[in-house]
Amino acid sequence: MTAEGRRPGRRNLSDDERTLWHDVTRSVRPLRRARANPGKTLPEAVAPQAAPLPKPETSARSAPSRPAAAPRPKPAPGLAPIERRQKKRLARGTEPIDARLDLHGCTQHEAHAALLQFLRRAQHNGARYVLVITGKGRAGSDGFREAGVLKRQVPLWLAMPEFRGYVVGFEDAAASHGGEGALYVRLRRKGRAAAWNS
């Protein structure tokens, strides 16, 4: 005990803690004890006899069966960048852009749902290359350009497993198609996507 009359390493309780402790200890009831009867002896506890273990079978067929392992999910196919020559052809118009999606004015939730539905429909229609317009962001009051939320989010979404059944790869679009505020997206063929999703 220290000079203050308490054990070292312990702190004094606050008034709230004392009240709480008092309420808790007031609600505790001691366990009832069986009264000892001097004239009565308790029977000795008899240990239960263990059941005999079955003899192991020596047959090779009786090897313990292991539970069947759950099938592993197929890994998402990797993304492949669009080749530079192909990107030039898209920019010049010699490779057609089969469909376009403009996400200007959408919330993140609306844009995510619209993008997934658009890619699904475009793939179903046999599209090979599509253009997704995200916008570049808006200029702030101080003159600096704020990075648009969708400009940041859409590439992240396209790389997610739920989009991989539709997307082979994507790149920033050429200036003629929106530059940094748009993406060329190469779509996976329908049969290959079905094989991966199955």
Indicate whether this model's pTM tops 0.85: no
pLDDT by residue for the chain (198 residues), tens only, comes to 554 555 555 678 788 788 877 777 777 777 776 665 555 555 555 555 656 666 655 555 555 566 666 666 555 567 888 888 998 999 998 999 999 999 988 999 999 999 999 999 999 999 999 999 998 876 555 554 445 899 999 999 999 999 989 999 999 999 989 888 999 999 998 765 444 443
pLDDT tens for each residue of 14-59: 887 888 777 777 777 777 766 655 555 555 555 556 566 666 555 5
Residue 161 forms part of a structural domain: yes
Residue 151 forms part of a structural domain: yes
Nearest CA-CA partner of 182 in 147, 146, 128, 132: 132
How far is 77 from 75, CA to CA, in rounded Å?
A: 6
Q: Residue 71 has what pLDDT?
A: 63
* Count of structural domains within the chain: 1
Alpha helices (H) in 37-189, listed in sequence order: 84-92, 108-124, 149-158, 161-164
pLDDT > 70: percent of the chain:
62
- For 173, the domain range is 84-197
How far is 168 from 147, CA to CA, in rounded Å?
A: 25
Residues 172 and 180: beta-carbon distance below 8 Å: yes
Q: What CATH number is attached to the domain comprising 152? A: 3.30.1370.110
Query: Taking the alpha carbons of 35, 36, 37, 43 in that order, is the dihedral positive or negative?
Result: positive
Secondary structure tally for the chain: helices H, strands E = 6, 4
Residue 130 forms part of a structural domain: yes
Alpha helices (H) in 11-83, listed in sequence order: 15-27
Residue 105 forms part of a structural domain: yes
